[in-house]
Amino acid sequence: MSTAPARTAHDISSRALAWLHANREYGALSDVPRADLLDDADAYKGIGETALAASLVLRSGVAGTHELRLARELLEYCWQQLGEGSLLYERLLRHPLKTDPIETYAHFARGGYQVPQLDRLIAHTVTLRSTHAVEHVPNRRLAVANAVRVVGFDHGPGAHDWAGLTRDTWLGALPEPWHIDWLTAYAVTHTVFHLTDWGRLPDGVPADLAEYLTRWLPVWTDIWAETGHWDLMAELMIIGTCLPEPRTETDDWQRLAAVQHDDGLVPRDDDPVEGDAAQLFDAHQHPTVVAVVAGTTALARALDAPARPGT
C-alpha cells in the first residue's frame, strides 16, 4: 500500500472513529427494556458493531495515541452498556442456541475483557452437539467458529471443521462471479472476515479462493460503487486487505473519502443524508463502523503490524 492511499485510509478511519465516539450516546441501551435486550439480538446489535471496530483499532496498534484512547473509551462504553457482560451471560443462558452472545463477547475478549461466569458457560455450550447442529447459513457458521476461536474455546469438542465450513459457502464453491447479488456479496465479505479474523490470519483464505477474489474484487467493488452502495463497497475493500497478498486500489479509497462527511459520518448509500443527530446515528452507524474497520485493517496489513499478545 503506497503512501497516498495509506494516508487516506488513516484519515477515513480516524474521522469515522471520532464520529462514533462523539455520537456514542445515541446507541445507549438505557431506554430499551431488559426483556427486549434478552429476547432480541437486534436490540443491541449496534453496540456489538461499535465494539468490533474499537477492538480492531486496539488490536492493530497502528492508530495514533488519540485514536487508541477513543477506541478504548468506546469499547469501555459498550461494555458498560452490556452490564459488563451480564447481558450476554443472561441471553446465552436463556437462549443457548443463539450465537450472538458468543460473537459479541469475542469483540471484548479481543480487547482484554473477561467474565469468568460467561467463559464457563461458553466453554460448556460449544461442546454440545445441538450447538454445532444449529441450522445457520454457511457464512454464519464461520462467524460462530471465529468467535469461539477468539475467546479461546476452539479445541476438543468445541473445534470446528474450517475446511468443510469454507467449502459450504457460496464463495467456497468458486461460482460464476457474474451471478453475485447484493445479499450474496455481503455473505462473501463475511466469509472472508471470519476466515481471517478480520485480517489477522490472512492465510485462512485458501489459495484458490484468494486467486478468485483477487480477480473479481475489482469488478464487484466498481459495481457497487457505481450504484452508490457505499457500505457494501467498503466491505468489499476490507476483503482486499484480508487476502494473503493484500489488494488495495487508490481509486477505491478516494471514492470512500469523497462520500465521507467532514464530521466522519459515512453514508450507507447515495440517498439523502437527513434527520437529527439520533436519526443519523441510527441510519449510518454501520457504514461508519465499516469505514473504521476498512482503514484499520488496511494500515495493519500495510505496516505488517503483528497483533498484540493475547489478541
SS3 8: helix
For residue 5, what pLDDT is reported? Answer: 84
User: Does the CA dihedral 105-146-60-52 come out positive or negative?
Assistant: negative
All three cell numbers of 269, joined, read: 448509500
Q: Are 297 and 25 in contact (CB under 8 A)?
A: no
Q: How confident is the model at residue 189 (pLDDT cuts 50, 70, 90)?
A: very high
Q: What is the mean pLDDT of residues 31-41?
A: 91
For residue 6, what pLDDT is reported? Answer: 87
Cβ-based neighbours of 33, under 8 Å, separated by 6 or more: none
For residue 2, what pLDDT is reported? Answer: 65
All three cell numbers of 309, joined, read: 499478545
For residue 248, what pLDDT is reported? Answer: 87
For the cut 80, the answer to whether the pLDDT of residue 304 exceeds it is no
For residue 181, what pLDDT is reported? Answer: 97
pTM beyond cutoff 0.75: yes
